[in-house]
Amino acid sequence: MSVLILNYDPSGLYKRNEVLNCLLLAALLKRHSISYKIKEISSISDEVVNDERFVVITSREKKVQELALKIKKRDKTKVLIFFHEYFSFFINKDFLKIVDLVVVGNGFNAIIDLIKDLKRKETGIKSTAWLSNGVVNINSSQNPIDLKKVGKLPYSKYPGCGIYKEAAFKDSPYEEGKDAALIFFSRGCKSRCSFCINPIFYKRKVYYRDPFDVLEDIDFFIEKGIVHFSFEDENLIADRKRFNELYTHIKKKNIMYRCHGAIRDIDNSILKKLFESGCKRLDIGIETASLDLQSKINKINGVKRVIKVCNQVKSFGIRPFILMMLGFPGETREDLLKTKGFLEILEKNGMEFGLSLFRPLPGTCFEKIKGITETGFSSHGKDVLHYIGDETDVDEIKRIYKRFTSKKLIIPNESKSIKVVRNGSSFIRADEYFEADFKPVPLNIWNGDKWDSKGLAHLVGRFKGYIKYRFSSSESFKANIKIRFRACTQTDEKGNLVITINENKKEVYIPEKSESGEILCVEFENITVDIKNELCILCNSEMGLSLFLSFDDSKVDNKSIEISTCDVL
């Protein structure tokens, strides 16, 4: 009996839990003497041939249904089990026709129950959903695992040991670029935040591991020379007694870590222990500066209190990092301006913060309300506005988001298509893309005077990813097409790009990082220009991409990408 644990598309800042849940499941299987393998794939086309009878899949991508179907078509005897925090979305007939079981909530024990006895599926395993005679059945009884009995996590069995490449310490000048190991002491949260998946998944309960198991995890990475850690607990300091148990031991390990904490739990006593045990950054979720909106999302934190606590955290040599959010349902212009004012206060006082966008998570009260844009949760964590209601001031959100992140807000279904000129040249603005996906760091726009860059303003694509643009024509015609743009890599090494027009591909090499890059030219012969067309710039190397907003060294006109057409004779 063996199991394949399959993590589909584990990428981006919001996909760390998938890695830890795979490791948690692997530890549970080991405890029950069930052999397993763990595999990551980033595309449906990736090879998933395996000898294991059972395939347990986790993913937040809707396309996981295609992956499951592919596996079943290849071998109908495979038993497919799906688990994820977004489980409620996947409990439907179409998906359950393909997979044998969907785990409901935090019911990891259900996977063991099914593997040990397939016949139990029809009798209703706790915390599962399944299809029987065309009817969706759900047994929502709790079936959580006892984390204290799980033991250490088998990091060595995970591809790359689950190292988090976009380190928690990337903004720290003395630790820039350090990899961080993902780790956790607890799962779950007692808070009632209405926008969060935790009250749905963990039912407002918190489950703790044995602190000695956590220490073994830490020792595993220390032996590999990794001393930076990212505690993925929702609130590491929520239970003071339990944190003290952990603190007593990890303070001797000489590690550095980041963690999350709630305003209500922060005082001098706990800050002293955080500092002594190696905490360098404390993430604090505030979300909005509007008390009215805080009340609606069940998260009350007064602005003055937050500033006071931040100063308190800083006094212990720990970096407070405030988590804020825009685009909530019910958020008015007045609410937005309060948040903007609060961010300006944080900025003035040298406080660090992160600004993200509201996401309608499956199972929450916001999932299906009027105004949710049809973007899907696979685009969560990207620069997409997921809600537009009558009260939403889209222009103000755009201004605030660009002001504090230097990134362009994507409005779903907003037209970003230019019309090309036949036998002439047309220009696309670099920031008028309709889709962009760089991992693990989202695409950014830099003005040439921030962070590690100087020179012309440009789009920054860290590591691998792509940018897509649309262009149209009043008629279809055959043409030779020339694409010109200014670019370079994000490192001191050369890289390469794949340029695609519709389904036609060309590869071009780009120079190493410089203040203004070089103008590149890519030529396509005998291409059909249709009424609607797509241009994709794909960076498939770790060197990254700088796409400049101007051809001219002396100005920024944002006529960044030139498309020239010439009829085929």
Cα 288 from Cα 292, distance rounded (Å): 9
pLDDT value, residue 95: 94
Sequence-ordered list of residues with C-beta below 8 angstroms from that of 391, at least 6 positions apart, any chain: 330, 331, 332
Q: Categorize the per-residue pLDDT at 450 as very low, low, confident or very high, splitting at 50, 70 and 90.
A: very low
The SS3 assignment for 87 reads: helix
Q: Give the DSSP letter of residue 384.
A: B
Q: Categorize the per-residue pLDDT at 48 as very low, low, confident or very high, splitting at 50, 70 and 90.
A: confident
Q: Give the DSSP letter of residue 161.
A: G
Cα 560 from Cα 426, distance rounded (Å): 10
What is the chain's Cα-based Rg? 25
Residue 309 tokens read as 């606590």
Per the listing, tokens 């500033």 go with 307
Helix boundaries (H) for 391-447: 394-405
Q: Which residue has the higher pLDDT, 2 or 62?
A: 2
Average pLDDT over residues 83-102: 91
Average pLDDT over residues 382-393: 87
pLDDT value, residue 374: 62
Q: How does pLDDT run across 277-295, given as a tens digit for each residue?
A: 999 999 999 999 999 999 9
Average pLDDT over residues 46-56: 81
Sequence-ordered list of residues with C-beta below 8 angstroms from that of 160, at least 6 positions apart, any chain: none
Cα 175 from Cα 374, distance rounded (Å): 40
CA atoms within 13 A on the CB side of 538: 13
The SS3 assignment for 66 reads: helix
CB 60 within 8 A of CB 18: yes
pLDDT value, residue 555: 60
CB 209 within 8 A of CB 148: yes
The one-letter code for the residue type at 390 is: D
pLDDT value, residue 440: 62
Cα 488 from Cα 319, distance rounded (Å): 33
CB 490 within 8 A of CB 460: yes
Closest CA to 207 of 256, 267, 261, 142: 142
Average pLDDT over residues 15-26: 88
The SS3 assignment for 325 reads: strand
Average pLDDT over all residues of the chain? 86
Average pLDDT over residues 379-399: 85
Cα 542 from Cα 85, distance rounded (Å): 30
The SS3 assignment for 281 reads: strand
The SS3 assignment for 220 reads: helix
Average pLDDT over residues 117-127: 78
Q: Is the pLDDT of residue 14 over 60?
A: no
∠ CA 361-258-205, nearest 5°, is 45
Give the strands of the sheet with 279-287, arranged side by side.
163-164, 180-183, 228-231, 256-260, 279-287, 319-326, 352-357
Q: Categorize the per-residue pLDDT at 452 as very low, low, confident or very high, splitting at 50, 70 and 90.
A: very low
CB 102 within 8 A of CB 140: no
List the beta strands (DSSP E) in 134-274.
135-139, 163-164, 180-183, 186-188, 206-208, 228-231, 256-260
CB 207 within 8 A of CB 186: yes
pLDDT value, residue 556: 61
Residue 298 tokens read as 């069940």
Average pLDDT over residues 320-338: 95
Q: Is the pLDDT of residue 171 over 50?
A: no
Q: How does pLDDT run across 454-492, given as a tens digit for each residue?
A: 556 778 887 788 888 888 888 889 999 999 998 988 888
